[in-house]
């Protein structure tokens, strides 16, 4: 096994996920398109990668046995100009741009999910940041909002009642807010994360992943199950903002850089696969560690954020879990073949090799750094 990698991989700790039934999971491209300066989130600077060009994904999760539906995150609201001043002050900074074509509620309505009539039981906010909260006011009052610990105390009431809040009063007006209390409701530990079994059947868990923001949570959905006759249990790990770029959690001690990377993230010079040493040569320290470190200024708690990221690496390194962070633009590559809502589910991600197609695709952002290191000059126009 180690011969496949530039460093010998460390054995992955057992995740100890109990048996359960499946949920149906569909991934929604919320049409959010966000540009942000890389240096605001991570370091060191890597030549040719000054900006994140980030989508924002939402997940429609359905308990198969009952038809109960929830959303994990909503992306950015379509009328983002109506965000409170606390958010506008960020979006007006240098290097930030934002475009949103549709709201998630529109996307659902246009494709047969009657959100306006209460088809969605609840909206899970992985955390309170603007590119995840969307516009809950477009859903009926019967649709609850679910948030992580501390969010209510930190930011409610919203704006304009509290002029400093990044949330709007309208987000929660007339709507139930459910806060996941991992201290009181905690009965499970999956990997290193405290977990809450949302449907109480092992199909979907909320994971306590603090650090990036107050109340930050991840999601873990089981999409195949041996209890239902499948060959193995497979999962979708919804990483939210535990990382903003693949280079923040890859490579790792459990998943080092391969000697040969396939499919190739460097198609202009290596059409199908490329040597791993090309990207190893630009690594900040040449170890089996991520290219980037989390910037001290962004996380609510830097130590907790780094810890949550390291816990996610354990899930990322096992072959029955597909880790999807909220802003991974590599999923939008047509060659990957993601079936976006409403055209398919993520049930067959493993048979379609989606995790392997995505895993090292972020290295495309570093090809200029490789060329600079090798002294390759671009042709003059």
Mean pLDDT of 65-78: 96
Q: What are phi and psi of 287, to 5 degrees?
A: -105, 175
What gap in Å lies between CA 22 and CA 199, rounded to an integer? 11
- Average pLDDT over the chain, rounded to whole? 94
Count of CB atoms situated within 10 Å of the CB of 79: 10
Residue-wise pLDDT for 41-58, tens only, equals 999 999 999 999 999 999
- pLDDT, average across residues 233-258: 97
Query: Could you give the domains of the chain?
Result: 14-248+302-373 (3.60.15.10)
In this prediction the pTM is 0.96
Cα dihedral 97, 99, 100, 101 in deg (nearest 10): 180
CA–CA distance, 136 with 133 (Å, rounded to integer): 7
Cα separation, 18 vs 190, in Å, equals: 8
d(CA 153, CA 380): 57
CA 143 to each of CA 82, 240, 337: distance values in angstroms, whole numbers, following the listed order: 22, 21, 32
Report the distance separating Cα 53 and Cα 107, nearest Å.
22
Strands 97-100 and 69-72, by their bridges, are unpaired
pLDDT (0 to 100) of residue 185: 66
Eight-state DSSP code of residue 365: G
The pLDDT-based confidence of 380 (bands split at 50, 70, 90) is very low
| Rounded CA separation 52/98 (Å) | 12
CA dist., res. 271 & res. 300, Å (int): 41
Confidence of residue 6 (pLDDT cuts 50, 70, 90): confident
pLDDT of residue 3: 58
Structure tokens at 131: 């590119």
d(CA 178, CA 191): 25
Helix, strand or coil, per DSSP, at residue 173: coil
The Cα–Cα gap between 355 and 336 comes to 9
Residue 323 has pLDDT above 50, yes or no: yes
CB atoms within 10 A of CB 173: 11
**What is the rounded average pLDDT of the residues 201-223?**
97
DSSP labels, 303-337: HHHHHHHHHHHHHHTSTTEEEEETT-GGGG-TTT-
Q: How many CA atoms lie within 13 A of 179 on its CB side?
A: 14
How far is residue 186's CA from residue 184's CA, in Å, rounded to a whole number? 6
Which candidate, 110, 125, 112, places its Cα nearest to that of 56? 125
């Amino acid at each position: 096994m180690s011969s496949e990698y530039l460093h010998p991989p460390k054995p992955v700790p057992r995740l100890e996920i109990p048996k359960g039934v499946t949920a149906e999971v569909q991934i929604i491209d919320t049409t959010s398109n966000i540009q942000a300066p890389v240096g605001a989130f991570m370091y060191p600077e890597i030549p040719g990668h000054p900006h994140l060009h980030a989508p924002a994904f939402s997940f429609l999760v359905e308990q198969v046995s009952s038809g109960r539906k929830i959303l994990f995150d909503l992306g950015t609201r379509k009328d983002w100009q109506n965000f409170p001043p606390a958010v506008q002050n960020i979006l007006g900074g240098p290097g930030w741009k934002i475009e949103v074509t549709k709201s998630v509620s529109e996307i659902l309505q246009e494709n047969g999910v009657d959100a306006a009539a209460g088809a969605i039981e609840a909206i899970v906010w992985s955390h309170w940041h603007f590119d995840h909260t969307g516009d809950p006011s477009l859903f009926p009052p019967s649709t609850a909002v679910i948030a992580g610990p501390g969010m209510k105390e930190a930011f409610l009431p919203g704006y304009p009642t509290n002029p400093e809040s990044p949330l709007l009063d309208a987000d929660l007006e007339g709507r139930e807010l459910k806060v996941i209390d991992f201290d009181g409701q905690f009965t499970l530990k999956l990997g290193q994360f405290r977990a809450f079994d949302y449907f109480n059947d092992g199909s979907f868990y909320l994971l306590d992943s603090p650090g990036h923001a107050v109340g930050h949570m991840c999601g873990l959905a089981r999409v195949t199950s041996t209890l239902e006759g499948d060959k193995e249990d497979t999962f979708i790990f919804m990483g939210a903002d535990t990382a903003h770029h693949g280079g923040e959690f890859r490579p790792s001690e459990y998943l080092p850089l391969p000697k040969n990377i396939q499919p190739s993230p460097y198609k202009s010079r290596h059409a199908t696969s490329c040597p791993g040493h090309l990207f190893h040569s630009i690594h900040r320290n040449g170890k089996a560690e991520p290219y980037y470190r989390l910037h001290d200024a962004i996380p609510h708690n830097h130590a907790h954020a780094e810890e949550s990221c390291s816990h996610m690496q354990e899930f990322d390194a096992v072959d029955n879990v597909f880790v999807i962070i909220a802003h991974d633009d590599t999923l939008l590559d047509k060659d990957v073949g993601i079936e976006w809502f409403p055209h398919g589910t993520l049930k067959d991600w493993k048979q379609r090799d989606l995790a392997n197609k995505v895993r090292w695709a972020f290295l495309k952002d570093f090809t200029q750094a490789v060329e600079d290191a090798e002294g390759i000059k671009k042709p003059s126009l």
